[in-house]
């Protein structure tokens, strides 16, 4: 079964959108197989955003994600990686479909409520970062 890593980011947690966002994935029929609230360390944040290390917004990204609690989820189901990215909507909330999570709730490219893995390789890499205690596939 395919699986993905989702983060409900600090803006989503602070605005009390956790329940509503999790419910969207559940109602679509996906299985939440692990979940935790965590205040990310700078090390975890840097590892998670490693591929963006040379981007101009990298420091802003690390500061933001370490500035509050995140809710990390492992979600399982058929084609869950692509499906969850569609449900989340595009990174820029102005371009995200109106019915998507970012289209409905996000404020900016930096504070965009959710993150999800973009490939099977990223999903396994990110699951290892956020859930080191979980068995690896
Ligand atoms: P995420 O899916 O977590 O992966 C990379 C993140 O970089 C992305 O969501 C956005 O939150 C963030 N991001 C992308 N573009 C910008 C930008 N121009 N300014 C600030 N943050 C950005």
| CATH at 90 | 3.30.70.141
Domain for residue 16, yes or no?
Answer: yes
**Coil, strand, or helix at residue 8?**
strand
Mind listing the pLDDT tens digit of every residue in the chain (137 residues)?
A: 899 999 999 999 999 999 999 999 999 999 999 999 999 999 999 999 999 999 999 999 999 999 999 999 999 999 999 999 999 999 999 999 999 999 999 989 999 999 999 999 999 999 999 999 998 87
Separation in Å, CA 95 to CA 73, 74, 104:
25, 26, 11
In a domain, 135, yes or no: no
Assess if residue 79 is contained within a domain. yes
Query: How much is the pLDDT for 12?
Result: 98
**Domain, as residue range, for 46:** 2-130
* Rounded Cα gap, residues 99 and 58, in angstroms: 28
Taking the C-alpha atoms of residue 65 and residue 11, their distance in angstroms, rounded to an integer, is 9
Indicate the number of domains in the chain: 1
Pocket test of ligand 1: the residue of 110, 114, 115 to mutate, having most ligand atoms within 8 Å of its CB, is 110
pLDDT given for residue 69 in this prediction: 98
Ligand 1 center from residue 89 Cα (angstroms)? 13
- Confidence at residue 130, expressed as pLDDT on a 0 to 100 scale: 98
* Contact residues of ligand 1, CB 6 A cut-off: 52, 57, 60-61, 91, 109-110, 112, 115
Let me know if residue 137 belongs to a domain. no
Q: From the CA of 121, how far away is ligand 1's center (Å)?
A: 19
CB 85 within 8 A of CB 114: no
Tell whether 72 is covered by a domain: yes
| Catalytic positions | 115
């Amino acid at each position: 079964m395919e699986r993905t890593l989702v983060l409900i980011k600090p803006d989503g947690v602070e605005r009390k959108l956790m329940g509503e966002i999790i419910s969207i994935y559940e109602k679509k029929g996906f299985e939440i197989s692990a979940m935790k609230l965590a205040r990310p360390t700078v090390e975890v944040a840097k590892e998670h955003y490693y591929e963006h290390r040379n981007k101009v917004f990298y420091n802003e990204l690390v500061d933001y994600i370490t500035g509050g609690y995140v809710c990390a989820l492992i979600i399982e189901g058929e084609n869950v990686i692509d499906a969850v990215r569609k449900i989340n909507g595009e990174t820029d909330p102005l371009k995200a479909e109106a019915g998507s999570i970012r289209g409905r709730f996000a404020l900016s490219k930096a504070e965009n409520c959710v993150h999800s893995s973009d490939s099977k390789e990223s999903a396994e890499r990110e699951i290892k970062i956020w859930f080191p205690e979980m068995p690896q596939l």
